Structure 1
Amino acid sequence: MRILITNDDGPLNDDCSPYIRPFIQHIRRAHPHWKITVCVPHVQRSWNGKAHLAGKDLTATFIYSDIEKDDNSFWGPFNKPQLLQSKDSKLPYIINPEIPSDSIEWILVNGTPASCANIALHLLKDTKFDLVISGPNVGRNSSAAYITSSATVGAAMESVITGDTKAIAVSWAYYDNRKIVPSKLMKMASIRTTQIISHLWENWDPQTDIYSINVPLVDELSGSTKIFYAPIWENRWTAIFNGPHVREPIKGNLIEDGNDTDQISFNWCPDFKNHKNSSHYDGLVDSDQIAPGTDMDIIERRNISVTPLRATFRSMEHLNGELITKSNNTIVDEETVAIDNSTNDFVAALTISRDEYIYEPIKNAFKKYLPLYTIQSRLPDNFSSMKKLIQYGDYEQLDVDKLMLENSKYFANSYIYRKALIRKHYLAHTIHSYTVKHPESILNKAVLESHTLDLDYAEFLDDSLDENWELRQELENEKKWWIVKPSMSDKGQGIRVFKTIDDLQKIFDSFDDEANDDSAEFMDDNKIIISQLRHFIVQEYLTTPLLLPSMDNKKFHIRCYITCKGDLEVFVYNRMLALFAPTKYNDVTKETEFDPTDLKKLQSHLTNTCLQSKNETKELSVMEFDNLNDISNDNKRKIIKQIHEISHDVFLAAVTVNRMNFQPLPNAFETYGVDFLVDSNYEVKLLEINAYPDFKQTGDELKSLIDELFLNITKSVIRPLLDSDQTEDCDAEIFTKVLEHKSNEWN
């Protein structure tokens, strides 16, 4: 999601703008997939509404702050950007080596917040922004007296009117003149704010243009602070100036307008406590009271208010009552309602769809090994009063903030950062970094030669190869066969086999062409758009795979399920799958006329069953590895032993040499689908590691394998994770621990 952040309090400043830095830092850490641009006024511009400085030309300067620092220091200001911009940017690009590449860039415009939004939406980026976040404002923006003057809300209004872009105005209300609050409180305000933003974005009301959020900066702010939809309190107030005052000219000097005569002035002096109800609320409450249920009433009661608006300051009255954020917004059934009404301190929330292949195996395992836990299909409302909550859900359903902050209370089935393993180019870098330091590692022979390749369009292949001269040399030698894979795709998408640079060019050219009718039976979704992926892995192709006569000499790979627990233990599930290609293997080294874009010929080289949905032989494409009669028991043991060693080293590599991109958490676990190839000498090669593997590839015939997997995971991983007094009780023959590592130990 592409987000523009602006505000009316200006850039980093301890007095005027203390909230925006911790808010942006939280988003960058907790939501790395949100792409953020920051464009704010160069000084505080409060009380400007949706104003522009008519007739004034505006300029921009740039400052940069450290993502890790907890102060408002920065580099700059500079007249031009100091970090490398994308090639299609309209701004000049300059590299300043003194500024870290992951620092936060602040674009400062000497105009109003509305002007910042207008410039950023139309001139700074070619890519359309999905959402504008204006704030967090220092102080509340509730009631008609404030919200109609608010430049924070005004920038959000401008975003809708000028760019037809959804917008959310954020205000953090302070109390008793305590603007500067502890960093812990600002962190909690950041967490709750981003939770609400995520929920509103994913559940955007079609009649609403803007949401105005007010979050109370009070010590009791927590994950259980209630959120309410609230209309604007239509209050009234009197003069916000006092006077008149007669200004005496200073002898010998001219006063502001150049006149030397006495001047009448009015001093800024709003009475922030003198409010009255409008006639709209007459008869509901006394005239000196806040109308109940309005935004001002909600924030005065130290709750969070969310006001849905049109870009006309008209609130949307069809939204009312308590708002439940995404973590509480899953499907509710009769069983769940009954459970939520209970007072159980231990809950297991199974939030994946009931139609999922793994729903029943997980539910049955929870019932067997977590008898104290009430199983329900949504997150409970009373988290703050609970003792422990275990959630098994899709990555997007997990509460990342709770996972980071509530590590003794909230447990979940995924780590947050693990791209060191699950993205192919990161995995290649992880393994290379480890094997350089550990030449004795099995990874040196278990991973085929790999190179990374980055390009935006097919015509840039030659430039990309110039930047990777080692790969260019290998391809120019034309001695090996290669396989190219998009780094961030799955289910076999975009994989091709080739030998020469011309072959590779032909492959990339074909990705942008329309699929042939002849290829429709085999992979409707196999082609890709290069500019959407950009990162590719080019890996040596194994031309001597192990072939089994009883399976018509089809190529196969092994799918192994590996579960990580906490920080960090690794378990290998020894009931593995063998996934076969749909057709007999064709030796590419004997091909006289090989076409790298012929998808029919590619079938014999790809073993991903996702690509065989229309193939009549799919029921024969998955078998349990232990049932392959062509492989002797000795060779099976040899293969499994290598898989254990490879698994040990690759997870150890991720946690030791690429800790930035693999961060195991003490209150999380995760099961990966790891793919291996076996060559004709029974030597094992690691292919890739997949998060959230497609368990349904196992098929109905082997469902018992998945049932047993989740029984082992729950018994040996989840139960000890939830209760340290529970010892691990795993059958080493079935569920083997291959790594036990503590991240605080020296390696």
Structure 2
Amino acid sequence: MHILVVNDDGPPSQQSSPYVHSFIHTLQTHGHTVSVVLPHIQRSWIGKAHLAGRRLTPTYFRPGTLHTDDGTTHTRPRTDGGEEWVLVDGTPASCTQIGLNHYFQDRGKIDLVVSGPNYGRNSTSLFSLSSGTIGGAMEGAVCGVKSVALSYAFFDRNHDPAVIKGASEISVRVVKYLYENWAEGVDLYTVNVPLILGVDGEGTKILYTNILQNYWTMGSSFEEVEANDELDPDEREMQIREGGERGEGADLKVVGLKHKTFQWAPKFADVYKSVEEAPPGNDGWAVKEGHVSVTPLKANFMHFDGLIGGEIKLPQTSTLAVREQSAAVEQAPYYALVDYSDPYVRPRIIAALQKHLPQIQILSSTPTPPLDPTAKILHWSSYEAIPFEDILAHPDTALCCSYIIRKALIRKHYLSHTLASWTTKHPTSILATAASTTCELELDYAEYLDEALAEAYELRDSLAANDDKPAEQREWWILKPGMSDRGQGIRLFSTLPELEAVFEEFEGDTTDEDEDEADDTNNNNTNDNDAWGVENGNAVTTPISDAAATASGIVTSQLRHFVAQSYIHPPLLINNTKFHIRTYVLAVGGLRVYVFRRMLALFAGRPYVAPWEESADLAGHLTNTCLQSGERDGSVRLFWDLAGDVAGGREALEGVWGKIQRVVGETWEAAARGQRVHFQALPNAFEVFGVDFLVDAGMGVYLLEVNAYPDFKQTGEELGGVIEGLFEGVVERAVMPFLGVGKEEGEDGESEMVKVLDVELGSW
């Protein structure tokens, strides 16, 4: 859903606007596209006004850290694609108009306007009639867009991040519910959320209410003040809030004046007295009782009678109702053992399961007593925690999230062999041009490099040809340990001495004692093949050594097998920065393969320089975000958001997308048909892979590597909706068919999970 957020409190400020950043962040983590236009300063109590005759000029706000005031404002929009909000020197209603009509067209139609969250309640008619928050939502309603005004009723000045987070979570869920269950005849809703700990828990009621009609009875809402004693408007507004939210009067009257000026100082005791005296069912009463108040309105300040008096029951999510049991388990149609410790991943897996399979029983450990043998169970766990013997023994009732053997894809040297074997038999395959020239090297010690190069003749000949060339005319190579990940142990080189120096660095200052210890460790393994050991969860030590682990930042089990690939230059650059595409691929059974359309672009930490200009510092060459420290703003973007940054725009990106689908389909087919020993598909298994691609300056697409159990956290919180959408696709395409529930494939129209291979090779 594309949501426009406006407010009347201005940009994030712990003093005057402490809630908006958390709310926007929570919307984004739930997968919504959020566009933001806010007043550049506080504009409370201004209703649905516009500043007639005023020319409005935007500035641009770059949000900082949650619950801090480190965001920055700029006079011109940024050009690096990072998150940015628009600030307007106007009213909330003006922000709505400008957001709906003058920005964000490239993000698609705006589905919903949310105005808020307001710093303070907007319940009862006395607050609501002047509320800039409701004014911003009402402007959206009169523009024909569904709109919600959201306000937080605080009871003290302690802005506890946990309390704010809870309010944001329940608010996002209420907003989603209202959008999906919009009552006919309602123009907008005004929602009041009490800012109390646990408001997002099961005990909170969400009630349809009417607006309590109340009146000013204590005289003027203005006070006389000395002209030289006027407070700054923001300070005065803060003083009003403090008095009002505590239920105290704001009596600031000073007598003995010779000259009168007047200051807005409403007597909030009128509001609180009317709430205390009113019967249940109104918005003021609901907030007082700690409930969430939802008031349907017409776009003329009249509440809509059709929904008054009922309670809203939100769908259960992992936030409120994850049933986790390690003892006796209630009977359920099917079960899911989600043994995934990653706090970024696990809640998203559970949410996807419960969204599409509301009857599923979520387990966090193996149940005792055991389940009925006929019960179907999903094991969504780390590789080491999957009971593969049980999976193999129960092909009809047990499903797991990983294949047992898939190193034909996930080990760099095996993948190289997979591609080479396939293209030898199928020279017209797209894989013939989708991978750079790759040579395998296998050596235990640096002194054996010459022997390894005897087999890698393409690399040997290239290095020999480079000897007499200046650096900028050489063919450059990139060396990668065959079983490393997270960008570790990678080096650039173009000559034989440079390659020798790399292996001498890896070998380090190894002592005889180090080598003896390594030999002892190897001799204690029943199978000394390091690939076998890693695949089966065993720690392995190889002779290029513990010292190398320190020097290279990689563990010893990742050193022995290497691939050297011709370096792709020049790559396609965005703002002079190199990036690669992270594509999520789902393989199901034996064998259907899908590519998830929502791809990511992961950017290097520094501007790009040619390898001959800088080959030692890899920060401009490597695009793995886990290598970056410090500020990472803009390091991960949505691939489809790059349309404005590349020649050819969207059409060029669609061309890249088409090539990626073909490469993925043929790569998995090459592994499944040509490497049956090293890739064995199971009918009751599925797996999500992270596949990395590089695009060169001519829009050629190159397969870099395939990652099992990819690091989903690198997507970040702001783009967490990508992972949520991915897991929902996995549930729909892999889990639900196994359980025998859900629609037939293709019934749900266009899907973000695009099938690229269906060979159904069966069990192995």
In structure 1, the residue matched to 2:159 is: none
Instruction: Sort the Cα spacing of 1:452 and 1:584 in 2 relative to 1 into closer, same or farther, 3 A.
Output: same
* Equivalent pair of 2:325/2:365 in contact (CA under 8 Å): no
In structure 1, the residue matched to 2:356 is: 369
Deviations 1:409-432 (A, max 9, x none): 110100001000000010011111
CA shift for structure 1 position 352: 1.0
CA shift for structure 1 position 463: 2.3
In structure 1, the residue matched to 2:630 is: 615
Q: Distance in 2 between matches of 1:697 and 1:423?
A: 21
Q: Distance in 1 between matches of 2:456 and 2:699?
A: 32
**Which ranges in structure 2 are unaligned for 5 or more consecutive residues?**
1-320, 467-473, 511-548
* Equivalent pair of 1:512/1:528 in contact (CA under 8 Å): no
| Aligned ranges 1:80-91 → 2 under 5 Å | none
* Equivalent pair of 1:458/1:530 in contact (CA under 8 Å): no
In structure 1, the residue matched to 2:343 is: 356
In structure 2, the residue matched to 1:443 is: 431
Q: Distance in 2 between matches of 1:503 and 1:684?
A: 28
CA shift for structure 1 position 389: 0.6
Q: Which amino acid aligns with 1:435?
A: T
Of the structure 1 ranges 530-539 and 390-399, higher mean CA displacement relative to structure 2 is found in 530-539
Q: Distance in 2 between matches of 1:416 and 1:701?
A: 33
| Aligned ranges 1:327-346 → 2 under 5 Å | 335-337=323-325, 340-346=328-334
Whether 1:415 aligns to 2:431 is: no
In structure 2, the residue matched to 1:630 is: 645
| Aligned ranges 1:692-703 → 2 under 5 Å | 692-703=709-720
In structure 2, the residue matched to 1:735 is: 753
Whether 1:379 aligns to 2:402 is: no
Q: Distance in 2 between matches of 1:531 and 1:716?
A: 35
Deviations 1:701-722 (A, max 9, x none): 1011111111111112211122
Q: Which amino acid aligns with 1:350?
A: V
In structure 2, the residue matched to 1:173 is: none
Whether 1:565 aligns to 2:588 is: yes
Whether 1:652 aligns to 2:689 is: no
CA shift for structure 1 position 679: 0.4
Q: Which amino acid aligns with 1:364?
A: A
* Equivalent pair of 1:450/1:537 in contact (CA under 8 Å): yes
In structure 2, the residue matched to 1:538 is: 564
Q: Which amino acid aligns with 2:437?
A: E
Kindly tell me the number of residue pairs found equivalent between the two proteins: 393
In structure 2, the residue matched to 1:676 is: 693
Q: Distance in 2 between matches of 1:338 and 1:528?
A: 37
Instruction: Sort the Cα spacing of 1:438 and 1:475 in 2 relative to 1 into closer, same or farther, 3 A.
Output: same
Match of 2:492 among 497, 517, 521: 497
Q: Distance in 2 between matches of 1:374 and 1:340?
A: 12
Q: Distance in 2 between matches of 1:425 and 1:679?
A: 23
Q: Distance in 1 between matches of 2:557 and 2:731?
A: 41
What's the TM-score once normalised by structure 1's chain length? 0.50
Q: Which amino acid aligns with 1:455?
A: L
| Aligned ranges 1:207-356 → 2 under 5 Å | 335-337=323-325, 340-353=328-341, 355-356=342-343
* Equivalent pair of 1:493/1:525 in contact (CA under 8 Å): no
Q: Which amino acid aligns with 1:623?
A: R
Whether 1:404 aligns to 2:392 is: yes
Q: Which amino acid aligns with 1:357?
A: Y
* Equivalent pair of 2:505/2:551 in contact (CA under 8 Å): no
* Equivalent pair of 2:488/2:554 in contact (CA under 8 Å): yes
Q: Distance in 2 between matches of 1:428 and 1:654?
A: 11
Match of 2:456 among 429, 454, 468: 468
In structure 1, the residue matched to 2:501 is: 506
Q: Distance in 1 between matches of 2:550 and 2:413?
A: 25
* Equivalent pair of 2:592/2:759 in contact (CA under 8 Å): yes
Deviations 1:84-137 (A, max 9, x none): xxxxxxxxxxxxxxxxxxxxxxxxxxxxxxxxxxxxxxxxxxxxxxxxxxxxxx
Q: Distance in 2 between matches of 1:645 and 1:510?
A: 39
* Equivalent pair of 2:689/2:707 in contact (CA under 8 Å): yes
Instruction: Sort the Cα spacing of 1:532 and 1:667 in 2 relative to 1 into closer, same or farther, 3 A.
Output: closer
Q: Distance in 2 between matches of 1:386 and 1:361?
A: 28
Q: Which amino acid aligns with 1:490?
A: D
Q: Distance in 1 between matches of 2:570 and 2:497?
A: 24
Q: Distance in 2 between matches of 1:380 and 1:422?
A: 32
Whether 1:708 aligns to 2:696 is: no
In structure 1, the residue matched to 2:19 is: none
Match of 1:485 among 454, 466, 480: 480
Q: Distance in 2 between matches of 1:362 and 1:384?
A: 24
CA shift for structure 1 position 542: 0.3
In structure 1, the residue matched to 2:446 is: 458
Q: Distance in 2 between matches of 1:525 and 1:726?
A: 53
Q: Which amino acid aligns with 1:737?
A: K
Q: Secondary structure at the match of 2:433?
A: helix
Deviations 1:566-602 (A, max 9, x none): 111111001111001111100124x3xx5x5x3xx21
Percent of residue pairs bearing the same amino acid type: 41
In structure 1, the residue matched to 2:620 is: 604
Of the structure 1 ranges 506-515 and 443-452, higher mean CA displacement relative to structure 2 is found in 506-515
CA shift for structure 1 position 662: 0.7
**Which ranges in structure 1 are unaligned for 5 or more consecutive residues?**
1-332, 516-522
**Pairwise CA RMSD of aligned residues?**
2.4
Q: Secondary structure at the match of 2:729?
A: helix
CA shift for structure 1 position 728: 2.4
Instruction: Sort the Cα spacing of 1:463 and 1:530 in 2 relative to 1 into closer, same or farther, 3 A.
Output: farther
Whether 1:719 aligns to 2:736 is: yes
Q: Secondary structure at the match of 1:677?
A: strand
Q: Which amino acid aligns with 1:408?
A: D
CA shift for structure 1 position 513: 4.0
* Equivalent pair of 1:511/1:530 in contact (CA under 8 Å): no
Query: Which gives a bigger RCO, structure 1 or 2 (Cα 8 Å, sep 6+)?
Result: 2
Q: Secondary structure at the match of 2:570?
A: coil
* Equivalent pair of 2:483/2:557 in contact (CA under 8 Å): no
* Equivalent pair of 1:545/1:679 in contact (CA under 8 Å): yes
